[in-house]
Structure 1
Amino acid sequence: MSATPADVDQDVLAETLAVAGRLVGGPLRAVGQPFPGSRRTLVVRTVDPSGRSFVVKRYLSEEGWEAYAREASALEALTGVAQTPTLVAESSDPRLVVMDDLGDGTHPADALLGDDADRAAATLSGWATAVAGLHRAGHQVRDTFEAGVLARSSQPVDVDYLPAHLAEAVSVWNRLAAALDVAVPDGTFDVLASVPERFRVDACSLSAADMCPDNNLVRDTRLVLLDFEFALWRPIVWDAAYLRVPWPTCWCAWSLETSAAEVALGRWRDAVAVEWPEVLGSHFDHDLDLATEAWAWLAGSWCLAGLVDGEPQRVNPVKPMPRMPDRVLRFLRTAAAGRALPELAEVALRLARAVETTYAATDVPLAPAFTGGAFR
C-alpha cells in the first residue's frame, strides 16, 4: 500500500531529519511532502543551509535491517561505476541512507501511461540500456557488495534469495491448484525449485531486483536506476526477462507492444555482450525462456494467492494497474507455452481455464501509450 503525506509520523520525520543532518554536518529541512511509496520506508527530499539538496531514505519496518544492508551496500559498491544515486552517508541506528538528489524527472511508467507510442518505445530501450550498464558495472563489484551486506546485517542474509522463493512456490502452487479444484499429481511443481540449476549461460551480476518502470529517473538523455533495497547477486537473465513477462514484480504491469519490447531486449543483449558474448547465442535464448516461465509461475503464485485468500485489491488512481485476475491469467498463459518447462505446460493451461472461469479473467490490455493513450 502506498503511503500518503498524511500517513507520515511527524516525530519519525523530525528524527530522520535530525539524524541525517548530523551525518552531513548541518541541519536539514524537508522540501515538499515525503515521496509516495511503501509503508516500509520514508523517503524525503531535503536541503541544507547552503542550498545543497539530498534525498533521505529511512527503513521503518522490522525487516528494515535487511533492506538497509542491501541498499547501502549496493549504492556503495556502484558509486562511480554505474548510473545510480551516490551514497553520501548512512546510519545503522536508526537505519537510513542519505543520497545525492538527482532532481526531478520522468520514468518509463510515465511514458507507458501516456499517449505517445514512440516515446514509450524509446524509453523502454533506454531502460534496457541502463540495466545493461548496471549489469556490466555490477559484475565487477560482487566482493564489495557481499562484504557490505555481511557487515551491515544483524542476521544472516541470502545474497540471492530467488532460489528460496522458487522453492516456496512449489507448496504455494499445490495449495492454489487445490483451491481452484485443479487436480495435479504429487510432485508436479517440484521442477520450479530446480530452475536456478538449469541456466546454461553463466552470466551473473548485481541487480536492483525490483527493476520496475518507475524505479528510475529519466533526466535529459540519461536514465538513472533507483531503489536498491532488494538488491542481490543473481543471473542477469532474470532482469532481461522483465521485458518478456512483462514486469512481474511491478504495479505498471500492462502488456507491451511486442516489437517495442523486442527492440529493447535486443539493445540490452548487444550491450551486455561486451562482457558476456554468450548472451547472443541459442543457449541464452533457452535461459530467457526459462526465466520468463519461472517468473510467470513465481509472480503468478503471489498474485493468485491474494485472490484465493480474499485480500482486498488495491486501487490507486495515481498508479493504475491491470486487474489482478487478468495478470494471473497472463502469467499462466505464458507458463503454458512450455518452451523451457514443458512438464508444466498442460497444468498451466488447466489452471488458466480455472482462473478465467472463477475470476472472469481476460487479457491484460496494452499499456495506454500503445493504444492512443486509452485503457482498452
Structure 2
Amino acid sequence: MTVDTSSTDDSTVGAGAEPVAAAIAAGESVLSRRFGSAITLVSPEDLAGSGPATVLRARVVSSSFALPRTLVIKHYPDPPEPGYADPFAQEAVSYQLFTALSPDERMCPELLAHDGRQRVLVIEDLGRAPTLQDKLSARDSRAAERALLSWARSLGRLHASTASREADFNALLRRLGGPVRNEDNDLADTLDEVPPLLEDLLGIVTPEPIRARVAESVALARSAAFRAFSPSELSPENNLVTGSGVRFLDFERGRVRTALVDAAYLRLPFASCDDALALPAGMSEAMIAAWRAEVVGVWPSFADDEELAAQLTISELLLVWLITSDTLPSLDLTRHATPVSREAALVTWWRELAKHAGYARLPDIAEHATRVAAALGARLGPHADLAFYPAFR
C-alpha cells in the first residue's frame, strides 16, 4: 500500500465511484457491528493501493466511541482465484497476529475491525508520514540512513516478536477459510531452472557443488529454524517512517518463513522491486547489525559473526538464484545497460554475492558468482553498475 501524501483535499483520487462507495459501505457496516452503534465515514481519499484492494482513508463524523478521527479501509471485492492464496485472508490474519501483541511489539497499524464475508479491513491511520521510498528519493543522505537503520530494527523486532507464532498464524488463517500453503515447497522447482539459463545465455556451466549449495539454501528455507512472520513484500513504498520508527504496511502476502530470507534483503535491499537501486558501501552491514541486535535474544547463534555470515550468504544465494530465474530470460543482453536498469541490478547482485561469499569463506559460491557477474558485465558493458538511490548520489 502506497500512501499518497500529496493529497490534502477531501476528494477521491484514482478509484472509481462504485469501488469507493462499496468500500465505505463495507467499512461502516463492520464498524457498526463491531461497536454496536451506527458509524458514518465521509471524505474518502484514495490511497492508491497497488494490489487487488480498494484502499481509502476516511473521516469518522458520527460515533459515540473514542475512534480516531480518520481510519483506513481496505476492501477486497473479488474472491481469490481457485487454488491461489487469498490476499484478504493473508492480510487480515497478519493484522490479527500483530494486534494481539503489545503496542511496543506491533510493527504495523492496529486492526480495528474486519469481516470475512464482506472482505473488508479497518485499520489505524498512521497519517501522512513519509514512506521509506520518499526518504531514499530525497536528497538528504543522513535522513535516508536513519530511515534504513530504523527499517532494519523494525524488521528485527517484527521477527523477534513473532518467532514462535507460526501455529497461531496458521490457526487464524484456517478460521478465515484461507488455505495454509507453504510456499517454501515450491522452491525446489527453481533448482533446475537457473543452470540452463546461465549456460544458454551466458555460457556459464553450473558446477555440482553450486547445485548442492542451492539445495542447501532451499533446505534452510524449508527448515523449522529461524521462522518468523514476514511481510514478503519488502518494498520501500510499503514502509512508513513514523516518529516511533518504521511501520510496515501491506500484508497481502504476509506469511511465516525463515527470517534469513528477509535478512538477505538487507544485503540486496529491495531486490524484488523493479526499480531497486544501490546503497553506499557499509550501509548494508550497518542494517544487518541493527537487525541482529533485535533478534539475537531469540536466536543466540546469530551472535557468532561467522555463523551469521554463512547463514546469510546461503540465503542470499537463494535470493539471487530466484531473481535470476525470474528476470534473466526477459533481460536485453544485446546492448549496454544503463545504471538504473534491471540488467545493471542483476550484475550488481551477483557481484555482491561474490563479495559476501568471500567474506564468509565460501569460495565455491564466490568463484561461481564472480564468473556469472563477469559474463553479465561482458555482455552489458562498462556502465552495468547499479546507480545509488538519489539520497546517496
With 45-54 and 197-206 compared, the bigger mean Cα shift is at 197-206
**Structure 2 match to 1:66:** 86
The within-5 A match list for 1:290-309 is 290-307=314-331
What is the number of equivalent residue pairs in this alignment? 356
Whether 1:177 and 2:173 are equivalent positions in the alignment is no
> Which amino acid letter does the alignment assign opposite residue 237 of structure 1?
L
1:333 to 347, 351, 364: 351
CA distance in 1, matches of 2:14, 2:169: 33
Distance 2:185 2:281 in 1: 29
Asked whether the 8 Å contact 1:44–1:56 carries over to 2, the reply is: yes
- CA contact under 8 A between 2:320 and 2:349: conserved in structure 1? yes
Residue deviations 1:107-145, cap 9 Å, x none? 222222221221111111111111111112112432221
| Structure with greater Cα Rg | 2
1:133-166 Cα offsets, whole Å, 9 max, x none, are 1112112432221111122235x3324x1452x3
Confirm or deny: 8 A CA contact 2:230 2:259 kept in the other structure.
Answer: yes
**Contact kept? 2:218, 2:318, Cα under 8 Å:** no
Partner Cα distance (1:8, 1:267) in 2 = 39
User: Equivalent residue for 1:37?
Assistant: 49
Q: Is the 8 A contact 2:274 2:342 kept in 1?
A: no
Structure 1 residue 83, shift from structure 2 partner: 2.2
Q: Which amino acid aligns with 1:217?
A: L
What does the per-residue CA deviation read over 1:293-315, in whole Å, with 9 as the maximum and x for residues that have no partner?
221111232222332799xxxxx
Does the 8 Å contact 1:300/1:332 carry over to 2?
no
**Match status 1:230 vs 2:246:** no
Amino acid at match of 1:116: D
Task: Say if 1:217 and 1:226, in contact at 8 Å, map to a contact too.
Answer: yes
Distance 2:3 2:299 in 1: 40
Q: Cα 1:189–1:29, aligned 2, differ >3 Å: closer, same or farther?
A: farther
Could you tell me how far 1:41 is from its partner in structure 2? 2.7
Contact in 2 for aligned 1:176/1:308 (Cα 8 Å): no
Residue aligning to 2:298: 275
Using the TM superposition, give the Cα deviation of residue 234 of structure 1 relative to its aligned residue in structure 2, in angstroms.
1.6
Confirm or deny that 1:11 pairs with 2:28: no
1:46 maps onto 2:58 in alignment: yes
CA RMSD of aligned residues (A): 3.2
Matched residues in 1 for 2:117 and 2:215: separation?
37
Q: Does 1:363 align with 2:380?
A: no
Q: Which range moved further: 19-28 or 341-350?
A: 341-350
SS in structure 2 at match of 1:56: strand
Match of 2:7 in 1: none
CA deviation map 1:24-71 (0-9, x unaligned): 112323533x22332433211112323732111233574485211211
Deviation at 1:99, TM superposition (A): 0.8
The 3-state SS of whatever aligns with 1:256 is coil
Is the 1:333–1:348 Cα contact (8 Å) retained in structure 2? yes
Q: C-alpha distance in 2, partners of 1:212/1:133?
A: 18
Question: Aligned with 1:49: secondary structure?
Answer: strand
Cα offset for 1:190?
6.4
| Structure 1, 350-359 or 255-264: larger mean CA deviation | 350-359
State the 1:189 CA deviation. 4.3
User: Any idea what SS the aligned residue of 1:248 has?
Assistant: coil
**1:359: how far off?**
4.6
* Structure 2 counterpart SS, 1:233: strand
Identity %: 26
TM-score relative to the length of structure 1 = 0.83
Q: What amino acid sits opposite 1:58 in the alignment?
A: H
2:260, 2:315 within 8 Å by CA — same for their partners in 1?
yes
1:21 aligns with 2:28: yes
Kept in 2, the 8 Å contact 1:69–1:152? The answer is: yes
2:109 match: 85
Conservation of the 8 A alpha-carbon contact between 1:180 and 1:351:
no
User: 1:313 — aligned with what?
Assistant: none
2:151–2:246: 8 Å Cα contact kept in structure 1?
A: yes
Among candidates 125, 135, 140, match of residue 116 of structure 1: 140
Which segments of 5 or more consecutive residues in structure 1 lack a partner in the other structure? 311-320, 372-376
1:96 and 2:103 matched: no
Q: Give the distance between the partners of 1:129 and 1:9, measured in 2 at CA.
A: 38
Give the residue type in structure 2 aligned to 1:327: A
Unpaired runs of at least 5, structure 2: 5-11, 33-38, 63-67
Counterpart code for 1:324: R
Map Cα deviations across residues 174-195 of structure 1 (whole Å, 9 max, x no partner): 4533551525369774653431
Answer yes or no: is the 8 Å Cα contact 1:20–1:56 preserved in 2: yes
How far apart in 2 are the matches of 1:177 and 1:185? Answer: 8
Q: Distance in 2 between the 1:309 and 1:259 partners?
A: 30
Matched residue, 1:374: none
Residue by residue over 1:314-349, the C-alpha shift from the partner in whole angstroms, topping out at 9 and shown as x without a partner, is: xxxxxxx93111112123323445557755555544
Distance verdict in 2 for CA 1:69–1:193, change over 3 Å: farther
